[in-house]
Structure 1
Amino acid sequence: MAEELSSSKLGTLEYWEQTYDKEIENFNEFGDEGEVWFGIQTAKRVVNWLKNKQVDKENSSIIDIGCGNGFSCCMLAEAGFKQITGVDYSEKAIKLAKSIAESKNLNIDYKVVDVLNKEENLNSKKYDIAIDKGTYDAIGLCPDDPRTKRYLYKEFLLRVLANDSLFIITSCNWTSKELENFFTESNEFEIVEEIKAPITFQFGGSTGSTTSTLVFKFKKSN
């Protein structure tokens, strides 16, 4: 069993509300869309993977979990995907994401959603693809009972994913093996592949990347 991460302000709603409040000011004044979590290239790798797999752009429903300023959603829309939903528990994040999408004339559905709320099921809508770029990481940094919250996160996935759907997660706090062990431990998910990032460090004779991106397939239990 992987050890829990040390708690951080990054695991609190207060931090993100303050962050996005400032980013809203910057966008309104300067047109600055704000920080891209894990960088632009990470989002590009995920979008390119979907395009290379010839995912149906018209009919595949995609949910970006913890969408923040909506950068990944916008990139998906600009790549031709039509059914995109971005969710975040920060109202300020959703406000910023909506403003950015409107400025680009992009049709993206944004919602304020707390994925750790057991009652949240997005009106029973089922998605074909779920994307997470840093949200599972942030949950692991919560100052109170992160282990329980990580399982609440997984329960949310089980409620909103369609059978045979894809779940694509990028993390900088958990290794590929730790991600695989957590999401496959009860057999709802099976690993499809890892989307490799360029080698970004060398240490002690080993090479690696600062992030891990894994693709899982979701199988509903009978």
Structure 2
Amino acid sequence: MSPENASTAISSDCPGHLQPSELGTKQYWDHYYEEEFAAIRDEGAEDRDIGRLSTWFEDVNAPQRVLNFLISSEFPFAPCHFLAGTANEAPSILDLGTGNGQTLFQLRLQGGFRGQMTGLDYSKASIQLAQELGKNQQDCQDIRFEVMDIISDEPKEQEWWPEDGFDLVLDKGTFDAISLSEDVVESSTSNLSQTHQASVRLHTLYPSRALSMVKPGGFLLVTSCNWTQEELIHWFTGGATGSSHSASVWKCIEYPKFKFGGQEGQGACTVCFRKALSFE
């Protein structure tokens, strides 16, 4: 079964699947971060400015838009709700596909987030880069970076795993990258009478895996430039994956819209999902 046909075995109403590309391969990202790591090794520690690092979706100002949303008073886990001297405990944050760690550094240094922070990436070069950069950033030394493949590894077996999951899980293009992978795995689907095995593209498993790392009542924030807002919502609210984790749309971040060929669109979309306190 080809990857394109295999992926449709999950659900007949899935959004369309993306054509595989090198951006969906581990080899591409290993090489990318190895080159970025080599570049910073040529600089002295005092000259390493994380503001010069490559970042995600800069063309639509996504990093700043997401930061503004997360620190706004409307967001329940914003730092303004966790002032020093209060009984509230600062939220824990997990960054999926952390890359060079820029997102977590920004949340700590510009956003004022003070809780547990963990960045995951399946690229060892990415984690080595993020760890090296974190050593030389004031107030960032306690941010943890770990190698993990969200599809094949079990997060609850890791010693850094919090008992109930993380309050806030971030994805800024990781679902996009996995959606470009041509790799397939065997997955089981069940009905009342029998269980079926099917080969599926990796991204069909990703929404359920990502939501499993969110604490009940917590948030998953997903930014994409490859999927429309409607498609993203379909993937992460269970319609496309049959996920056992119930989630709903809490907020969508607005981006500038453009018109092309009579159609209206935007360069990226960010959707904040909230995981249900219990599955109903």
User: TM-score over 0.5 for the alignment?
Assistant: yes
Alignment of 1:39 onto 2:58:
yes
SS at match of 1:130: strand
Alignment of 1:181 onto 2:213:
no
State the one-letter code of the partner of 1:68: G
Alignment of 1:74 onto 2:131:
no
Given the alignment, which residue of 192, 202, 214 partners 2:259? 202
Alignment of 1:16 onto 2:29:
yes
Residue 198 (structure 1) shift:
2.3
2:263 and 2:17 mapped to 1: Cα distance? 24
Contact 2:182-2:201 at 8 Å conserved across structures: no
Q: Which moved more, 1:61-70 or 1:110-119?
A: 110-119
Deviations 1:128-153 (A, max 9, x none): 01110000000000022385422332
Alignment of 1:138 onto 2:177:
yes
State the one-letter code of the partner of 1:203: F
The 4+ residue runs of structure 1 with deviation greater than 4 A are none
State the one-letter code of the partner of 1:50: L
2:78 and 2:265 mapped to 1: Cα distance? 32
1:217 and 1:203 mapped to 2: Cα distance? 32
1:1-150 aligned within 5 A = 1-30=14-43, 31=48, 34-39=53-58, 41-52=61-72, 53-54=74-75, 55-57=77-79, 59-78=90-109, 79-82=111-114, 83-105=116-138, 106=140, 107-121=142-156, 122-123=158-159, 124-125=161-162, 126-145=165-184, 147-150=200-203
State the one-letter code of the partner of 1:37: W
Alignment of 1:211 onto 2:230:
no
State the one-letter code of the partner of 1:5: L
Provide TM-score, normalisation by structure 1: 0.91
2:49 and 2:266 mapped to 1: Cα distance? 28
Contact 2:223-2:271 at 8 Å conserved across structures: yes
Larger radius of gyration: 2
Deviations 1:17-65 (A, max 9, x none): 1110000011122447542121282112112111113525351011110
Q: Which moved more, 1:130-139 or 1:141-150?
A: 141-150
Residue 85 (structure 1) shift:
1.1
Q: Unpaired segments of 5 or more residues in structure 2?
A: 1-13, 83-89, 186-199
Q: 1:214 to 1:181 in 2, by over 3 A?
A: same
Q: Which residue in the other structure is 2:210 paired with? A: 157
Q: Unpaired segments of 5 or more residues in structure 1?
A: none
Q: Which moved more, 1:113-122 or 1:136-145?
A: 113-122
Contact 2:219-2:272 at 8 Å conserved across structures: yes
Residue 202 (structure 1) shift:
2.6
2:226 and 2:255 mapped to 1: Cα distance? 15
State the one-letter code of the partner of 1:97: A
How much is the aligned-residue C-alpha RMSD, in angstroms?
A: 2.0
Contact 2:208-2:236 at 8 Å conserved across structures: no
